């Protein structure tokens, strides 16, 4: 999805494209291949739209997550991070713990587990699964620092 598709999608789901939301989406688009914390999104959004504050950022991120335009990604023991959705298909991510760079895993490693549970007492509806590590550049930086 490009930025105008994202904006159209939001409007088609009945949400106004406020200056604040526009600024948040612009920031997320700039960092398309990265995950950002709400704090980082706040700092960067403020540069574009000074009237923003942290609680509206959280509220808007929640809305954007609910309408499936933003991924919220669990970071082990840390605050969640966010990114624009990559595509409509079910997928997972690998995320760099240092710089937040992310890459798509476009197959589902949990598919077999889903199939296992088909006749059980639970009806599975969704799951989360992300891989964490360090990207090539961050590994290089670490090695250079010794
Ligand atoms: Zn994604
Ligand atoms: Zn990295
Ligand atoms: Zn999956």
Ligand 1 centre and the CA of 136: distance in Å?
20
pLDDT score of 131: 94
How far, in Å, is the centroid of ligand 1 from the Cα of 15? Answer: 22
Residues with CB under 5 A from ligand 1 (ion): 86
More confident residue, 52 or 114: 52
Q: What percent of the chain has pLDDT over 70?
A: 100
As a whole number, mean pLDDT of residues 52-65 equals 96
Ligand nearest to the CA of 109: 3
In contact, 93 and 56? CB cutoff 8 Å: no
Which ligand neighbours the alpha carbon of 139 most closely?
A: 2
Q: For CA atoms 108, 109, 110, 111, give the dihedral sign.
A: positive
Query: What CATH number is associated with residue 141?
Result: 1.10.10.10
**Domain total of the chain:** 1
Q: Which domain holds residue 12?
A: 3-145
């Amino acid at each position: 999805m490009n930025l105008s598709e994202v904006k159209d999608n939001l409007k088609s789901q009945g949400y106004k494209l406020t200056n604040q939301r526009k600024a948040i989406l612009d920031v997320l688009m700039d960092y398309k291949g990265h995950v950002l914390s709400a704090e980082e999104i706040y700092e960067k959004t403020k540069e574009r739209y000074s009237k923003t504050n942290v609680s509206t950022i959280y509220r808007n991120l929640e809305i954007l997550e609910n309408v499936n335009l933003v991924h919220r990604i669990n970071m082990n023991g840390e605050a969640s991070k966010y990114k624009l959705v990559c595509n409509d298909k079910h997928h997972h991510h690998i995320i760099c713990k240092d710089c937040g760079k992310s890459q798509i895993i476009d197959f589902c490693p949990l598919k077999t587990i889903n199939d296992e549970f088909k006749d059980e007492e639970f009806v599975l509806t969704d799951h989360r699964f992300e891989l964490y590590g360090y990207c090539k550049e961050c590994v290089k930086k670490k090695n250079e620092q010794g």
